[in-house]
Every structure is written in C-alpha cells, then in structure tokens.
Amino acid sequence: MNKSDNKKENTNNTANTSTDKINRIKELVEILNKASKAYYAEDVEIMSNFEYDKLYDELLALEDETGMVLANSPTQNVGYEVVSELPKEKHPAKMLSLDKTKEVDALVSWLGDKKGLLSWKMDGLTVVLTYEGGKLVKAVTRGNGEIGEVITANARTFVNIPASISYKGKLTIRGEAIITYSDFEKINASIVDADAKYKNPRNLCSGSVRQLSSKITAERSVRFYAFSMVEPEDRELLDSFENSFQKRFEYLSSLGFDIVEYMEVTAETLPETVRVFSEKIPDNDFPTDGLVLSFDDTAYGKSLGTTAKFPRDAIAFKWRDEQAETTLRDIEWSPSRTGLINPVAIFDTVELEGTDVSRASLHNITYVRDMKLGIGDRIKVYKANMIIPQLSENLTKSDSVVVPDTCPACGGKTEIKNENGTETLNCINPQCPAKNIKLFSLFVSRNAMNIDGMSEATIERFIGAGILHRLSDIYHLSEHREVIINLEGFGEKSYDKLIKAIDASRKADMASFLYGLGIAGFGVANAKLIVKAYKSDFSAIMNAVPEDLVEIDQVGDVLARDFSAYFKDMDNRAEVERLLSEIEFVIEENTSEQDLEGMTFVITGSLETYPNRDALKKEIEDRGGKVAGSVSAKTTALINNDINSNSSKNKKAKSLGVPIISEEMFKNNQFT
C-alpha cells in the first residue's frame, strides 16, 4: 500500500470515527430528553440520578470534542423568544423551483450518461440556515423565492438541528423543515375538539415554523433535513468536495445534520431505484410529494445554468395524481381585479393527498362547456402536483350550466369575451367593488409594494368608510387617523404599524410598482423584462407602443396591446402620475459600457464560450442592448454559431437581410 492509499484510509477512518461520535451524541440526547420528560412531566423515574449524570457527562465530553451541539441537547439552556412580527429578508440569490415530470423515461433521458443522486422531495417548508464561527446565526424561510421570513429563534428549537458545528467558516445550508406523521398524530391526539385537529403535517409544519413565539415552535417537534449547500466561500472546503454532490451530503452528515435519504443512480439503474423509493412510502414516517434527481457532478450541473423559472442541475419527479369521485353541487362565479369572473366548482368534500377538498377552479367558460358541466353531475377531481385541486373528468355530462348575465359583486352587466378561441366572462362596470378590492390587494402585496397590514378585509373596511377610492389614496391614509383607529379591529398600534409600512413603500422597485398597477395579464417577470428593456426610464415605459414591446422576449401581441392601452387611458395615466408624486424609485446603477444601445439581438442554437443563453443575454442587456425571441426587420443580428444552418430563424434572417453572426463575431463586435 502506498502513502496515498494510507492517507486515504486514515481520512476514511477519521470520518467514520467522527460519524460514530455524532451518532452517539444524537442517541444520548434522545435518551436523556426522554428521561427528563418522564421525570418532570410524567412523574416517572426511568433511570437513576447516577446513570443520568454519567450519560450527561459523556454527552458533554463528546460535544466538546466534536464541536457539534444539537439545539435540543439537555446541555443547552433554551431561551424562548416572542416577536411582534417575522422580519422579511431578501435572499442573496433567487431560490428557483424545480422543473417537474411524472414520467420515469423523462428522468432517464434527463440524466443521460451522467451519474446522479435520487433523493426524497420532502413535503414541508424550505428553510435556509447560515452558520458563522460554528454557530447558527440565521434561518430564513424560502418565502416567494426572492423574499423570505427570518425565523432564527424558531429554528433553534428544531428537534435535530445543530446549534453548533465544528466548521468555523461561513456555511449556508438549504433543507426542508417537516413534522413526522408520528409527531403529527401525537399533537392531534392531545386535541379534544375534532374540528380543531390539524389537517396534515405540512400545514402544521408551515404554521409552526412561522410562529411569533419560539416556545410554540418548540412544542411542535419540527425537524430539519438538509438537501443542498450553497456554494461555500472557503476554496479549500470547496475543493475537498471534488465537484461531487454526494461528498457534500457526506460532509453535512459529518457535521451532524440529518440529510434527505438518497441513492446513487445511472440511466440503467434509475427505473428500479424509483420503484424502491415508491415501495418505501407506506412505511415512511415523513410526508413527501415526490423525488429529486440531481447530477452528482456539481461543476457540470452549474455549467448548465438556469431557465427563467428552473435550475438545470436537478429535476423533480412527481407521483401520479390521486383521484376521487364526487358530486358537483354549485358553480360560484368569482369576480377578480381585472373584471374577469372566474367559475369555481363547489362539490361534496373529498380527501386528496391527506387534505379535505371541496372547491376547484374551472378556469373559463370554454372549460365549463368543454367539460359539459351541470349541477348534480358526478365528477372526478385530483390535485395537480399534489397541491392545486382540478377536475379530471365529468361522468354525467349534463351540460346544463347557465352563465350569469350580471356580476355577483355589483349587479352590473357581464360580457363574454373571446381571446384566441377561449371564452371568458367579464364584468364591464369600471366601478365594481370587487375590482377595486382585488386591485388594492395586488398593489399592497409582497411582490408589488409590499405594504404589511392591508389585508382584503382591511381594504374593504377602508372602502366602506369612504377613505379609499383609488390607489393613490393609500398614501393619504394618515389624514384619516381618527377614522382608522375607531374601525373594528384597529387601534393606535395597528394604525402606526400601517403608516410605517406605507412610508417604507415610498422607496419603490420600479418592476414591483409596475406589476402592482394590475395591468391585465401582466406578471412580475414581464415587469422586470420591460423595466430592463427600457433601462428604468418610466416615461419611456408609459409611452411604449405595441410594436416595440413585442420585441421584448416573452412579451406577446396581446400583452403588448393591453400594456400600451393601459397607459393610453387618461384615467389610468392620471392615477399613475398621482402615485409617482408619492414614491421614489430605487434603481441599481449599471456600470457597463452602453455600446449596444438601440441594438436588438436574437439568440439561437448552442453556445461555445458562454455557459448558457442567459449569460449572453445578460451581457447584451448590461451593455444597453435588447434580446428578442423572434427575428424581425428591427433585429440587429441573429447570433447562431451554425451560420449556414437551414433553421427557421436563419431563413427568416436571410429573407429580411438581418446579419447572422457567430458567438465569436459578437464578441469582436462584428454585427454586420
């Protein structure tokens, strides 16, 4: 055996010894906590003081030796914390959700000739932990992927989370907070009132993690299972992982974290491994909603980049949906902020994926008619992605639904519109209260102006009190202090908190503000694209014409027309001007040279020097240019390394006289 083999064997032996000690720590914590609970809570002595002290001293010595201390260790004095609200914090990098499939063959194709890791997709609440100097310093929920809630005090009460670890650098870990089925059943068993019992572990976990009192969280037996690590800043630590996802898992385990169960797979072994996982589900003590397949080679996974919605280094596998048969009892027509009146199915309650379900969206009139729905019909329902209730089949097909000709909110006339073959029901009354409430609710929402304290119920009270007629009135609510503090459910503290939140929103992100205006069909992603395309020039945005807007990637003809029409409406424009007089946009400066100003590029085909299209797109936009999804007469150049290909985009470019350039030509500014 050579020196290298000796060194590797010693390293493995050390790792095994460390793991053994950490496992012993976990065992001792469980034994001692069980003994303490029996003695103090149940007045039963299951071990002598001598035995307890002996095990306690052993635990103390192992914690000191390994540097790993569990948050619920009896050696720790837990101080509970109560807060008035959970502070919000923006994640350093957006946490994208995973792309999904229900087909094993799709997983095999995705993995190709690479080695992968298949693990559980636990069904709880995603939490991000940050350690510095060996101590847990911060815990934040995933939230909407961009902004989460800080729950550090609550996380310190999780059953299995290390409060201290041996690594002293900065380490950020992502994982799932869950409540096991057995703990869930114990909690429900302690509740006498049947109606007060919790519906499922996921909802209980979500509520427990986000409590304002960490004492309540501690009583719920929340557990944390690590599933990934944010790229560490420590180069030596990073190199030790050898670009292996599995080695990262092993390292987290050596620090004392419980990690999601995983198995190594190749394209050949993947189908059988999925089957093995599926057979474990009935015996699992934790809720799951599928599996996650990741590339073991982290460098390769990182090189693939991301799409606008998903990372490309992992994919989720969802089990086929559970279905239930029931009876349709009614269709509720629900008005929205845009005037669209959405049909909602009301049916006899069924249990799906562990929760009671009695409502499902019917989307639009075309869907209702295609399903041939009628009150009293026997229908089949399921949960799309195990979350969103949907109808899968109508067994009766009586086709007897009558579409209402008046709006249920205002009594005004309705109108059926046809967009690309899809019929929708709309309220045409511009003063419909439902429109205003929904619009206000959108404007103050987290992804828009992020004004805490303005729920739909609060907005409804303000409208009823005559102090809220349009969006800009929000910034004048301080003029109605006496009215507000005398409203039901309000007082001095609620008023002060609301005004503080309103004032904080005066420093606004332009894309969030644009989204909050409630333009039909207009989402957060569209807002960001338009703000970037017009370089944060709000005057230019207000005067944008459909012909220019469609040049922006992901902005189609309908959205472009609706967006432009919104700002052409004099009432809308006047209201926006009033809002602009109340707020100030916070704009991040772009220090890149704007040498592509006025130029529009289309990217197609594979890239050679850029890691992905997003990287090339970002460079173009940072330099003042635009990236469109299709070639037009206004396109400066089509970037395609295969200049001579017969692709549709190449043909279109040639027919319009648009230059086709390679990646290298773009880098050398050869645009003609």
What is the set of active-site residues? 121
Q: State the amino acid at position 109 in one-letter form.
A: S
Backbone φ and ψ for 29, nearest 5 degrees, come out as -60, -45
DSSP H/E element including 376? none
Give the 3-state secondary structure of residue 354: coil
Cβ contact 292:119 at 8 Å: yes
Cβ contact 396:376 at 8 Å: yes
Cβ contact 566:526 at 8 Å: no
Q: How far apart are the C-alpha atoms of 348 and 330, rounded to whole Å? A: 10
Q: How far apart are the C-alpha atoms of 138 and 88, rounded to whole Å? A: 12
Q: How far apart are the C-alpha atoms of 563 and 663, rounded to whole Å? A: 34
* Nearest partner of 512 among 474, 494, 538, judged by Cα: 538
Name 480's bridge partners. none
Cβ contact 291:118 at 8 Å: yes
If DSSP states are collapsed to H, E and C, what string results for 255-292?
A: CCCCECCEEEECCCCHHHHHHHHHHHHHHCCCCEEEEE
Cβ contact 439:448 at 8 Å: no
Cβ contact 628:599 at 8 Å: no
Q: Cα dist. 332→209, 346, 366 in Å?
A: 34, 7, 16
Give the 3-state secondary structure of residue 609: coil
Name 216's bridge partners. none
Cβ contact 524:510 at 8 Å: no
DSSP H/E element including 458? helix 456-464
Give the 3-state secondary structure of residue 50: helix
Count the Cβ atoms, other than its own, within 10 Å of residue 11. Answer: 10
Token pair 């280094």: residue? 313
Name 88's bridge partners. 149
Q: How far apart are the C-alpha atoms of 272 and 525, rounded to whole Å? A: 39
Q: What is the DSSP letter of 134?
A: T
Q: How far apart are the C-alpha atoms of 307 and 310, rounded to whole Å? A: 5
Cβ contact 670:659 at 8 Å: no
Cβ contact 343:332 at 8 Å: yes
Beta strand ranges found along 25-96 (DSSP E): 69-70, 88-90
Question: What token pair was written down for 304?
Answer: 């693939």
Q: How far apart are the C-alpha atoms of 543 and 565, rounded to whole Å? A: 10
Question: What token pair was written down for 472?
Answer: 């800009």
User: What length does the chain have?
Assistant: 672
Count the Cβ atoms, other than its own, within 10 Å of residue 572. Answer: 16
* Angle at the Cα of 167 from the Cα atoms of 29 and 5, rounded to 5 degrees: 100
Cβ contact 379:394 at 8 Å: yes
DSSP H/E element including 39? helix 3-40
